[in-house]
Every structure is written in C-alpha cells, then in structure tokens.
Amino acid sequence: GAGVSQTPSNKVTEKGKYVELRCDPISGHTALYWYRQSLGQGPEFLIYFQGTGAADDSGLPNDRFFAVRPEGSVSTLKIQRTERGDSAMYLCASSLTGIHNTEAFFGQGTRLTVV
Amino acid sequence: GQQVMQIPQYQHVQEGEDFTTYCNSSTTLSNIQWYKQRPGGHPVFLIQLVKSGEVKKQKRLTFQFGEAKKNSSLHITATQTTDVGTYFCAYSGAGSYQLTFGKGTKLSVIP
C-alpha cells in the first residue's frame, strides 16, 4: 500500500479483555516495529521484526503483550487481560531493510482505551 | 540505559521568530534522527545525521550533529504556523535495531 496502515484507529475495551491491533506495513518493507506512545511522551519501543521473526522483543512490558508477523508482512499486536495502564497510542512503523540507519515510516496509530 | 534529553520541553514563538531544540546525550551516539509529529498525527521522519560535525539543511530547517556525537540540534528559521508540532530526536545504539526517542519539544507558533 501507499503507507503503513493500522486498524482499528480507535479501540475501547473493558479491563481484563483481550485485544488485537493490526499493522499492514509498506509493501516490500522487511522491518516492522511496534511502539507505544503515552500523552506528552515520545514513542516507546516495544518489538522489532525482521521478516517473520521477532529480532528484538525487549521492549514488551510483560507477558501479557505478544506480537506476531506470520508471513513477514502484516503484524498483529496482542494484549491479554488488558489493564487501564495499557491505555495509549500504539504505533507501528516499517522500514525497507531494518538496518538502524534507515528511515522508519509510521502509521496513524491505534488509540487504545481500557475502561 | 542510554537516554537523550531534549530541551526545551515546550516553546512558544511568534510567527517569524526562530526556534531551536536541542538533543543531548551523556554518551556517544552512532546516529541521530529527527521526527516531527503534528497534533493528532504520527511521527514523520525529517533527517538522519551520522557524521561528527555534520550539518544538513532542508529549506528553513538546519540540523547539526556535534563534533563529539553527543549533541544534536534542530533550528527553524522564521517559523510559520505549519511548523506547529512536537519535534523528537531519536537514535539507535550500535548493534541494536531499537529506535529510542527523546521526550520531544512541543512548538507552538502564535500567528
């Protein structure tokens, strides 16, 4: 596609529920990143995929968070037993090669609200 | 872990005035990137700097990377209302694919 696409754009869920956030990267981009951004803060790294594998998941806050990218394109971020503290904007980004000095293209994000 | 400090946190300027934001690290950075995020929008890549003392210009924007590669700055000449947004610096460590962001400088331009 023309850019990174994230769905849904907004998600409101009840505490304790399970949610899935989807990211469709730019076609041909092998690297995919998930970030979380709270109000007034910079994006916080969660996980990085190179192809189908999670090359770096050190930013995932705990085992309630999991992400997959089974075919090396679309990625899904999964959050189990959601907590109010999980409320944030979840941003996905992709880049052509994933080498650290290449430009990252961000999607519009999914705003998650846990009530 | 390694962090970058961005100053100021907020800046209000009159349209036509200049604006500068600074990004400071206690350790040497292999590279620095700058992003702009408009209100309600997502971060958009502006530039990457990798060389000591590097200076790059994009129209009214001037980006610098310090000689010691510990500091960077973004300077906007004669601000316009379209410059409104939050400017983030970000870096990736050697051997790491994480892009770590500063907290940003929020720029308001008064017409």
Q: Which two tokens stand for residue A49?
A: 């995929």
**What mean pLDDT is reported for chain B?**
93
Q: Is the pLDDT of residue A3 over 70?
A: yes
Residue of chain B whose Cα is closest to the Cα of A47: B98
Expressed in angstroms, the distance from the first to the final Cα of chain A is 33
| Residue A2 burial by Cβ neighbours in a 10 Å radius (0-12, 13-18, 19+) | exposed
Q: What is the pLDDT of residues A84-102, one digit of tens each?
A: 999 999 999 999 876 555 7
CB A92 within 8 A of CB A107: yes
| Inter-chain CB proximity A98 and B97 less than 8 Å | yes
For residue A8, say if its preceding peptide bond is cis, omega within 30 degrees of 0.
Answer: yes
Residue B100 or A2, more confident: B100
Q: Which two tokens stand for residue B58?
A: 């994009």
Q: What is the pLDDT of residues A25-54, one digit of tens each?
A: 999 999 999 999 999 899 999 999 998 888
Name the CA radius of gyration of chain B, rounded.
Answer: 13
> Which residue out of B6, B7, B42 would a mutagenesis test of the A interface target, given it has the greatest number of A Cβ atoms within 10 Å?
B42
For A68, the 3-state DSSP assignment is strand
User: Is the CA virtual torsion B63, B6, B17, B82 positive or negative?
Assistant: positive
Q: Which two tokens stand for residue B104?
A: 């940003």
Q: What is the pLDDT of residues B79-95, one digit of tens each?
A: 999 999 999 999 987 77
